[in-house]
Structure 1
Amino acid sequence: MVEFEKYLYERENAGATIRKYLTDLKCFFKFLGEKTEIDKGRLLAYKEWLIEHYTVNSVNSMLAALNQFLTFCGYCELKIRRVKTQKNLFLQEEKELTCQEYKRLVKAARAEGKSQLALCIETIAVTGIRVSELKYFTVEQVKKGRIEVHNKGKYRRIFLTASIRKKLLMFASARKIRSGCIFVTKSGQPKDRSNLWSEMKALKKKAGVSGEKIFPHNLRHLFARVYYQTTQDLTGLADVLGHSSLNVTRIYTSNTGEIYQRQLNRMTILQM
């Protein structure tokens, strides 16, 4: 496992991805039990077992970890195909975070005296960044008015509005943060997905927002929908989000099925 972890690191996988793969592999080894020899039959049996116990998305995620491990071991011919699913381009109403709900989350965080959490939420929502990119928000870069991200051999630039730039610098000044990362934990480590997620979840009662809607990545989806509704520029949005595929960006801009239903109801020209 140590060598596999090193292999993933050298392939420049993110730390969270490496931890996820290692956890998923433990599940595979537990399935194997004492008989550790593997062949196509046992791998397919494992896939069937996963399908019985996990959602399709989880199954495919765990198979991705397994296939990486098989590649590492030199058994590419044993790799397992993912479970095919029909892409759902409709946003689920129960998971759509509205602008009003987002604002209630920010207000709830401020009311709880959690100014850093409130600013984290606002920063993600107005820039559309990934949570993993919060660590690039340093005093030095914010002063420049843009955030330059170098990750996995890729480079992209995040633009800041004048308002969020001012708030970030005021927060850093109040916390006496003169250089380096602005969003840090009490131990001085950069904020990550797990601790931000748990802090956001704790706001659900005070904000009156369903827990299903409260997770950091949903703020990125909210940004994408608002940006597209404002500009109708899908290509520009893909650049802002750092997507290499417009198909991915289309998912981010999906409307709910309810909205599509209202649009269909207005199409009276074909009615007899």
Structure 2
Amino acid sequence: MNNGVYSFPVFTLTDEDSVYDALEMMKTNFIKRVVIVKKKKPIGIVTELDLNQFLENDSTSRTLDQIQLKEIMKKNVITVRNDLDDHLTQCATRMDTFKIGSIVVVDDFGDLAGITTETDISRHYARMFPGKFRVRDYMTDKIVTCRDSDSLHYALDIINKNQISRLIVTDNNGNPKGTITTNDFLRYSQYFKRSLSKVHDELSQLSSEKNKVGEFIRYEILTVEPDDDLATAAELMVNNNVSGIPVIVIKNNKISGIITKSDIVRAFSQVITHGKLLEKYRTFH
């Protein structure tokens, strides 16, 4: 069973492939994760966040093509079988429980069959539950920001410490100017570490400490309001290929929170459960 609830084929590598291979695969195909396989079976996963943490923390002199994925991949792969009738709910529940952005789908033999991501859940939420919740019901009040004058290294450190995929970038007065994402850091990985051992390092003048966030941010910023339909926010994120949108109070142009695909996943996992509980309550009363 698929019915559009998971994606296939999946971008895969082996644990003997390099960090450089994963980095290039993500940048070329605009994806956030690569499944690590051995004889068709998933044995690990590498995400944008894993690569960004590595870029910040690795202090060795090795280049990215000299480091195998077995050193950085997550080995505890969360999976579901491809024959579940409630596939989306099962995936959303696992994502919310384990705080992850995807679920690997396997067949009866444990072979890789596909992958369901937060984007898949968000797309189906937008179609299935318009008018069910408002943005304010699920948005996160904690706003993690950096200034456009901060260094790239400082911004990456904030992203890694908070386990998030994007930062809202403000000016010195706290006004939103744009965003910088985990994908942006992958695209500018040369500011942190050399990629290829065979290439002479010509980037010594480039530095994640010297270069400022304002040089790299995306100035086009999507926003929603607290009373907007959550399904509208989900659709905006899917259509614009972003994982989070600032929630702005229009009357004063101040950020009151952020809504992310993770919040949409949480809503999806709860809306079905709440519906079943309500139906059960009605049955007994």
TM-score bucket (shorter structure)? under 0.3
More strand by share: 2
TM norm structure 2? 0.26
TM norm structure 1? 0.27
More helix by share: 1
